[in-house]
Chain A
Amino acid sequence: MAIVSIRALTKRFADTAAVNDLDLEIGDGEFVSLLGPSGCGKTTTLRLLAGFLQPDAGEIRVAGDVISSANLLVPPERRNMSMIFQSYAVWPHMTVAQNVAYGLKFKRLSRHEVEQKLAKLLGVVHLAELKDRYPAELSGGQQQRVALARALVVEPHILLMDEPLSNLDANLREEMRFEIRRLHEEFKITTVYVTHDQAEAMATSDRIAVIDRGRMVQVGKPGEIFDRPKTRFVAEFVGKANILIGSYDGHGVLQLKDGTKIRVSADGASAGTTQVAVCLRPHNVVLVADDIEARKLADQNYNIFRGTIRRSIYFGDSVDYMLDLSSEGMLRVVAPPNELFAPGQQIYAAARPDACVIVRD
């Protein structure tokens, strides 16, 4: 059941539409990420959800009731939501305990209940020892935990997160991703999470909504978004992608510019002889040097390309190659490091048809 339903949401700043005719349904207890490049309107969408902004058109409903529209705005303080901010927004003049307990002041709870909830949450985010410290005495990660505890302690219906990890260093960011997912499993609060980092979205979300220039381009489970991108933008923004251009016959075969025919995953894509783009992920390509190996793969229905290695970068857990396919340009390949190829080497690149996904340009 959809608890949050966003319909035709539009917000203009001056003449540009920051959010343009956006639709999204979010289920009860679901964790949805809004993913997109900076300036795509994802934070604006979140602030519209929170009630800090009022839409110019469209509406937001929670459990059937309109909370935002062009002529109605329930103020943030009456939305039963919590939000975690990019800057943490931990109040420097209050201790950890005062920060976390702040939202409980408006809940008409007994002193005892407040103490209990506070202790529980501080335990959950491992801050019990630090409860009398001031934020200035905490590390970035600890401040982030204070912000998390402060948002969760009020048991909100909906939790909003605005790039909560972008100010942390890389290691801590990775750790906090799991932490956020763990807390979601524990509390099952409906969550909307804004990020420009696809790995963060993948690690935390049930579903991802990709936004580009104020418009929703694709919504789906992380695997769907990654393996079955619908547009070239999604393919290139979420992970690395090779884009091959050719004409499509409508029956699973694409003819490249040099005449090579490859089998592609159609997924009900539009037929016709028009130019279409195909996304092929670098890690879905298998490299083989041997003619016989290559023929074997071809027999297994793989698409086979011939090329020359132009560049290889060794990353330890993988090797990043740039292949020159002559007439088709460059192909990027990420391969396991168990067999190394040198620049200049002639090579076969093989990819299964279902890894070659037609995308809208």
Chain B
Amino acid sequence: MNWSALRLSDPTLPVWVSAALLLVFLMLFPLAAIFRTSLWDEHGLSLSRYVEVFSNEQFLKAIWNTLIISIWVGVISVVVGALFAWLVTRTDLPWKKVIRALVMASFVTPPFLGAFAWTLLAGPNAGSLNKLYRAITGAENALFNIFSMPGLIFVMALYSFPFVFAMIANVCELISSDLEDAAEILGANKWRIAVTVTLPLALPALLSGFILAFLQSLSLFGAPAILGLPAGLHTITTQIWALFQYPPRLDMAAAFSVPLLLATMGLIAVQKRMLGRKGFSTVGGKGGQRRMINLGRGRMAALTFVLAILSLSVFLPYWILLKAALSQAWALPLTWDNFTLKNFSFAFFEYGDTQLAIYNTFKLGILTATIGTFLATLIAYITNRNLFIGARYLTFFALAPLVIPGIVLAVGLFIAYTRPPLVLYGTIWIMFVAFLTKEMPIGFSQAESTFKSIHPELEDASRILGANRLLSLKQVTAPLARSGLIAAWSFIFIGVIRELSAAILLFAPQSKVVSVVIFDLKEEGQVGVIAVLGILLLLVSFAVILTVHWLGGRDVMGTRE
């Protein structure tokens, strides 16, 4: 089909074209703002800011820190994530369902919340684990100082490995035992099979898992800010944030964003190539039978290892948050004397910012999820049905935010929407635009895979019987896509309520959200209130996930049982 065809015949064309234009605008406007601000000054085109950024020792140090941290987080995440994935999908490890659920819990936990919990667990003075260590050994020093580079790497890896797990578990489930059997029949022993068949098959997934975790830590703001800044440790994201503090240097922030943007783009391109390679796609066929490898005596050891890691990412942080929420002094044991519900009443009814923040958060979550799902659905439909020439390029725009770290997006949006013609700064709408943009990839890929599973002839059948395209969408396609679209809605919603890195640059006093309030409260040392708000975020996220699971039988980790 071509443009003229649609123009003459299809009354629904304006809907598709406006959705496409809106998407392109959403993506290009902030990026254009970044490049313009970083390259132009009152004298015209100039590279002076880039020179300034790359000759400033502090900035270079931040880049260096980020690289070190991200490489370590990538390596640790791949090792732990791949091991978990292999254990859960290919061996007779007990309690697999529970383990999957717990990995999902670490997946859902906002890293800034995990980082905050770990300040309570392993802060050098009052950290519970350090106190325990001192009590047991009588030592003077702390066992572990979380406010350090290793501490930061440790916490970031805890909340990055679930991404790698989800990805590799999918691949492991697709490598059928047949492939390994074939090698065994040809006379290879177990070790040889692992090295010559299984590992090469999984290698692209391992490498791209590394990239995933690397990117994740490259763009995180909350954890480095909470754990790194007290130790005087800057990363790229915290440095960009610092450039926004008084006196703001937007031009410098923009220039500093560009290398982060380019690095992300490059890595995603590498990852895409690796996943698109032929050797990997042969794994993509839903393979034959999988036999579970018998771990024998190692079974309990493996379970202990898995539970130990999960206690670091889930049990200990959740326990300390719960304790902090329910006690008057979080560092003291939780006795009847120390027990209180005051933190809850204070958080919900007394503390000035929280009510508004909770209201803003859920308002933004629902708005973004609803409009985002709608837009993502329209765009996925256009690309899937190839409605007009160039439709497939929309995929590129819809997935573009994957390569834009949240804080970079926020820099772009801040610059773009603080001046006419569109002044959104100071309202929640600038955050709405930020979240809508940032969550578009997840909504789009969910909607896209949903449409792929619906045969186009189902819709053709409706059209030929007299329904136009929009009506056919409403009557046939939408009901069939329902559970997929509900999942898209929930992913966006959860993504929004835990967002910090974009919100931290875009909020104004009247448009604070919960994550920002938590960040602020940390400065005031309001541990109990933070814990209450964190638990609220977690509970809402879990409730949404369970609802999706119950409605559509979908596994949020994207893996099959």
Out of A52, A85, A86, A93, name the residue touching B480 (CB < 8 Å): A93
Question: Residue-by-residue, is A131-157 near B (CB-CB < 8 Å gives 1, otherwise 0)?
Answer: 000000000000000010011001000
The reply on B5 being an interface residue by CB < 8 A is: yes
Contact B480 A77 (CB under 8 A): no
Out of B8, B10, B461, B476, name the residue touching A83 (CB < 8 Å): B461
Residues on the A chain within 8 Å of B2, using CB: 54
Bound: A54/B7 CA distance, A: 12
Bound: A189/B4 CA distance, A: 32
Question: Residue-by-residue, is B466-488 near A (CB-CB < 8 Å gives 1, otherwise 0)?
Answer: 11110000011001100000000
Question: Residue-by-residue, is B2-40 near A (CB-CB < 8 Å gives 1, otherwise 0)?
Answer: 101100111000000000000000000000000000000
Q: Which A-chain residue is minimally distant from B463 (CB atoms)?
A: A76
Residues on the A chain within 8 Å of B458, using CB: 87, 89, 91
How distant is B473 from chain A, measured CB to nearest CB, in Å? 13
Contact B463 A75 (CB under 8 A): yes
The reply on A53 being an interface residue by CB < 8 A is: yes
Knowing A54-B1, A81-B464, A106-B467, the reply to whether A73 touches B457 (Cβ < 8 A) is no
Bound: A53/B480 CA distance, A: 24
Q: Which B-chain residue is minimally distant from A56 (CB atoms)?
A: B2
Out of A71, A72, A77, A160, name the residue touching B466 (CB < 8 Å): A77
Q: Which B-chain residue is minimally distant from A147 (CB atoms)?
A: B461
How distant is B464 from chain A, measured CB to nearest CB, in Å? 5
The reply on B91 being an interface residue by CB < 8 A is: no
Contact A72 B455 (CB under 8 A): no
The reply on A102 being an interface residue by CB < 8 A is: yes
Chain B CB count within 10 A is highest, among A76, A107, A154, for A76
Contact A87 B455 (CB under 8 A): yes
Q: Which B-chain residue is minimally distant from A102 (CB atoms)?
A: B465
Bound: A150/B5 CA distance, A: 28
Residues on the B chain within 8 Å of A154, using CB: 465-466
The reply on B350 being an interface residue by CB < 8 A is: no
Q: Which A-chain residue is minimally distant from B472 (CB atoms)?
A: A77
Out of B457, B460, B465, name the residue touching A106 (CB < 8 Å): B465
Instruction: Give the dominant DSSP class at B's interface.
Output: helix
Residues on the A chain within 8 Å of B466, using CB: 77-78, 103, 105-107, 154
Contact B457 A89 (CB under 8 A): yes
Bound: A160/B458 CA distance, A: 15
| CB within 8 Å of B: which A92-128 residues | 92-93, 102-103, 105-107
Knowing A83-B464, A102-B462, the reply to whether A75 touches B10 (Cβ < 8 A) is yes
How distant is A164 from chain B, measured CB to nearest CB, in Å? 12
Contact B463 A77 (CB under 8 A): yes
Bound: A133/B465 CA distance, A: 21
The reply on A79 being an interface residue by CB < 8 A is: yes
Out of A73, A92, A150, name the residue touching B9 (CB < 8 Å): A73
Contact A82 B465 (CB under 8 A): yes
The reply on A2 being an interface residue by CB < 8 A is: no
Residues on the A chain within 8 Å of B465, using CB: 77, 82, 102-103, 106, 150-151, 154
Contact B1 A75 (CB under 8 A): no
Residues on the A chain within 8 Å of B468, using CB: 75, 77
Chain A CB count within 10 A is highest, among B4, B464, B466, for B464
Contact A91 B476 (CB under 8 A): yes
Bound: A107/B465 CA distance, A: 10
How distant is A159 from chain B, measured CB to nearest CB, in Å? 10
How distant is B272 from chain A, measured CB to nearest CB, in Å? 24
Bound: A232/B4 CA distance, A: 41
The reply on A211 being an interface residue by CB < 8 A is: no
Residues on the B chain within 8 Å of A81, using CB: 464
Bound: A305/B8 CA distance, A: 64
Out of A71, A74, A87, name the residue touching B457 (CB < 8 Å): A87
Q: Which B-chain residue is minimally distant from A83 (CB atoms)?
A: B464
Closest 6 CB pairs of A and B: A106-B466, A103-B465, A89-B461, A89-B457, A85-B457, A54-B5
Of the A-B pairs whose beta carbons lie under 8 Å apart in the complex, a sample of 24, sorted by A's number, is: A50-B460, A52-B460, A54-B1, A71-B4, A73-B5, A73-B9, A75-B468, A76-B460, A77-B464, A77-B465, A82-B464, A83-B461, A83-B464, A85-B460, A89-B458, A91-B458, A91-B480, A93-B480, A102-B462, A102-B475, A105-B466, A106-B466, A106-B467, A150-B465
